A and B are shown apart, each in its own frame.
Chain A
Amino acid sequence: MSGGVDSAVAAARAAEAGHDVTGVHLALSANPQSFRTGARGCCTIEDSRDARRAADVIGIPFYVWDLAERFREDVVDDFVAEYEAGRTPNPCLRCNEKIKFAALLDKALALGFDAVCTGHYATVVLNEDGTRELHRASDMAKDQSYVLGVLDEKQLAHAMFPLGDTLTTKDEIRAEAERRGLAVAKKPDSHDICFIADGDTQGFLASRLGKAEGDIVDEAGTKVGTHEGAYGFTIGQRKGLRIGHPAADGKPRYVLDISPVNNTVTVGPVEALDVTGLTAIKPRWCGTAPEGEGRYTAQLRAHGGETEVTASLTDGELTVSFAEPVRGVAPGQAIVLYDGTRVVGSATIATTSRRATATA
């Protein structure tokens, strides 16, 4: 229970359905700070209090479990290391894979619980043969199956998402919370990375990695500016490049490539961002791994749309080609493959291929 409205309603629904529910708030920051304004993610004392208050109203026990050390090792340090390597990680996927449905789940199972229930919008389908499938939420607009794409079937067998299978809008969830007397009904949504409370990712990375001045170059390798750390950029980024003079053709320039080895950021026109294919590593399958080449829809970002792809798995590496070129694909991001609404699996993007050149 993060202290937000979704997990509070999820807990209430699970309890109402007759489950023996215990509320758990994860303390993920070694030094929890209190932010009076509240609602900036899931690491504050304020949020812990909101979660406790909701649990009391629902009438379930409530505990704070301190997983700060595991979170730091598996999520925060990984986040920093990925940026340092020029990649763009998604810490929420990592947290679901390593914390919520691993460290938390393991402890819960050991203590005699059967499942971890969260406020994610996704659906678990139990097949007749006892296997389970993860599907998109009934409401595609709120679907969060992307960040759960890292779960394998064993994890799924101990997952419950009470919000996923109902066609309820966020407004209706808030109304339900209000009806249930949950004070978090009007609490704003959190969108930011929970361990960067002020939302300043660049500042956070700078404090962890320090400044490392380097060159910004164009596609031809000509220096067009300088930067204070290649890790501060994301492929597809346009703002904040601070290149003094315009490009020869006068068109805006975008980050095309980040090379941590020589601390260089390459910029170029928007067309050069078009990606036709990619390779991805560390695949995790929800069920059995697919064999041969298959056609899927893919999602490349938490709030991104669907893209038609052809994918095949060779020696644990996924090779994907897009039916139509897509923009703003960065190594480090996760690609989640779907068969209709069913999550097939996910993998971490390692390389992308462009029309003109391939980048490592």
Chain B
Amino acid sequence: MAYLDHAATTPMLPEAIEAMTAHLAVTGNASSLHAAGRRARRTVEEGRETLAAALGARPSEVVFTSGGTEADNLAVKGLYWARRDADPRRTRVLASPVEHHAVLDAVDWLASHEGADVEYLPVDRYGRVHPETLREAIARDPESVALATVMWANNEIGTVLPIRELADVAAEFGVPLHADAVQAVGQVPVDFAASGLAAMTVSGHKIGGPYGIGALLLGREHTPVPVLHGGGQERHVRSGTLDVPAVAAFAVAARLATERREEFAREIGALRDELVTTVRALVPDAILGGDPVERLPANAHFTFPGCEGDSLLLLLDAAGIACSTGSACTAGIAQPSHVLLATGTDPDLARGTLRFSLGHTSTKEDVAAVAEAIGPAVERARTAGLS
């Protein structure tokens, strides 16, 4: 099978599996005071230090969560509540329209349940928010902004956003900026301290770590209102007994993903370029999505005019190729991608998308499999048309 859906989840690194399994057999609640607890706590704190070092953060800035979705919810809702509590005028939430649903739906929930005034920041045709756009939006009424949230790199079309510049603008006005960096880690340089962000989301299973763990990197000056209340773990911001084996494995994966980033970007980037060249040669009217230069090295996103993305997926799956349409679905029904719609793509065209995402196990054989299957698949999907 040619697995080209690493942006959905990527295989765990052997070193991470080793760390995880080693700790699965060890008992200990990191909150306990006895010897077993201390041992667990040591593992967690060493993991926290490793993760922080890998991502340019201080250990005290790491808040472990159950994954990217929870970290996004904690940042968006928690910071909104905290900032509004401090000043009731702060009800504006500025967000990019190309966010992952973990951010989009949290933002929409704030609008429908917490009286938030949500403003979606216009993006260019590559899905990028320009710093000047953010400046204009904040400057319209700086006192009323609760927070801004813009992803570091887009999970569908792979465009990398100018986070540093956006954070500079937000900082000028004292507005906290959150970035979902789930897709960026291990692919582009990610340094929390240098970014100027108030909060940043990372996830374990997208970088070779385990499922079910992620973290919100959170500047010490920010104290979001918790989404989960309980035992007061993680700076009282995120209660719940820590998953010690997962923390250990996540830390190993983050360290390796960062250490190997340049090599990964070079080698997997070259493989991705080969994939793009191949697909364009075989299907000349295929449109490459996202920024052609400022993009994730492992992402190749295409639109195939006249095709239903779902049909292509089915045909490629039957040919042993795992990829994605890139867009979310409702009850299993494919919807035109909100990312493409935000970039101004025609809705019918936006239904014919495929995302190939490469990863640390990708090979030339994977590209060869696509080369063999894509032409006939597109031809058939075109015959089936848009139902």
Contact = CB atoms under 8 A, between A and B. Distances in A.
A63 B314 contact: yes
Contacts of A103: 387
Given A32-B331, A45-B331, A48-B332, A70 B387 contact: yes
Given A111-B314, A111-B380, A112-B380, A48 B387 contact: no
B335 to A, nearest CB: 9
A52 interface: yes
Interface string A138-158: 000000000000000000000
A61 B332 contact: no
A107 interface: yes
Contact of B387 (A22, A52, A67, A112): A67
B317 interface: yes
A27 B314 contact: no
B331 A27 contact: yes
Contact of B331 (A20, A64, A110): A64
B347 to A, nearest CB: 14
| Residue of A25, A32, A110 most packed against chain B (CB within 10 A) | A110
Contacts of B385: 107, 110
Interface string B124-160: 0000000000000000000000000000000000000
Q: How many B residues touch the partner, as a band?
A: 10 to 19
B332 A110 contact: no
B384 A111 contact: yes
Contacts of B329: 64
A61 B318 contact: yes
Nearest to A68: B333
A16 interface: no
A67 B310 CA distance: 13
A65 interface: yes
Interface in A38-84: 45, 48, 52, 61, 63-67, 70
| Residue of A27, A48, A52, A66 most packed against chain B (CB within 10 A) | A66
Given A61-B317, A61-B318, A66-B387, A111 B332 contact: no
A260 B157 CA distance: 56
A64 B334 CA distance: 8
B383 A48 contact: no
B10 interface: no
B350 to A, nearest CB: 15
Contacts of A112: 315, 380
B135 to A, nearest CB: 40
Nearest to B310: A63
B333 A110 contact: no
A111 B380 CA distance: 5
A111 B310 CA distance: 11
Given A61-B314, A61-B317, A111-B314, A66 B334 contact: yes
Contact of A110 (B318, B334, B384): B384
Contacts of A111: 311, 314-315, 380-381, 383-384
**B contact face: mostly helix, strand, loop, or mixed:** helix
Nearest to B382: A110
Interface in B323-346: 329-334
Given A27-B333, A48-B332, A107 B310 contact: no
Interface string B293-337: 000000000000000001100110110000000000111111000
Nearest to A64: B332
Nearest to A22: B314
A46 to B, nearest CB: 10
Interface string A100-120: 000100010011100000000
A177 to B, nearest CB: 22
A107 B333 contact: no
Contact of B332 (A20, A25, A70, A107): A25
| Residue of A25, A65, A70 most packed against chain B (CB within 10 A) | A65
Contacts of B381: 111
| Residue of B314, B315, B331, B387 most packed against chain A (CB within 10 A) | B331
Contacts of A52: 332
Interface string A202-234: 000000000000000000000000000000000
Interface in B94-132: none
Contacts of B331: 27, 32, 45, 48, 64
Contacts of A48: 331-332
Contacts of B317: 61
Contacts of B315: 111-112
A48 B331 CA distance: 8
A52 B330 CA distance: 14
Contacts of A45: 331
Nearest to A69: B387
A63 B383 CA distance: 18
Nearest to B384: A110
Contacts of B318: 20, 22, 61
Interface string B351-387: 0000000000000000000000000000011011101
B380 A66 contact: no
Contacts of A107: 311, 384-385, 387
A32 B330 CA distance: 9
A65 B381 CA distance: 14
Nearest to B315: A111
A85 B385 CA distance: 35
Contacts of B384: 107, 110-111
Nearest to A29: B331
A31 to B, nearest CB: 10
Interface in A307-325: none
Interface in B262-292: none
Contacts of B383: 110-111
A65 B313 CA distance: 12
| Residue of B329, B381, B383 most packed against chain A (CB within 10 A) | B383
| Residue of B317, B332, B383 most packed against chain A (CB within 10 A) | B332
Nearest to B381: A111
B332 A27 contact: yes
Contacts of B380: 110-112
Interface string A17-33: 00010100101000010
Contacts of A110: 380, 383-385
A25 B334 CA distance: 13
Please list the 8 inter-chain residue pairs (A to B) with the smallest Cβ-Cβ separation, ordered nearest first: A64-B332, A110-B384, A110-B383, A66-B333, A45-B331, A27-B333, A32-B331, A107-B384
7 contacts: A22-B314, A66-B334, A103-B387, A107-B311, A107-B385, A110-B385, A111-B314
Given A20-B318, A25-B332, A110-B384, 14 more contacts: A27-B331, A32-B331, A45-B331, A48-B331, A52-B332, A61-B318, A63-B310, A64-B332, A64-B334, A66-B334, A107-B311, A107-B387, A110-B385, A112-B315
Interface of B: 310-311, 314-315, 317-318, 329-334, 380-381, 383-385, 387
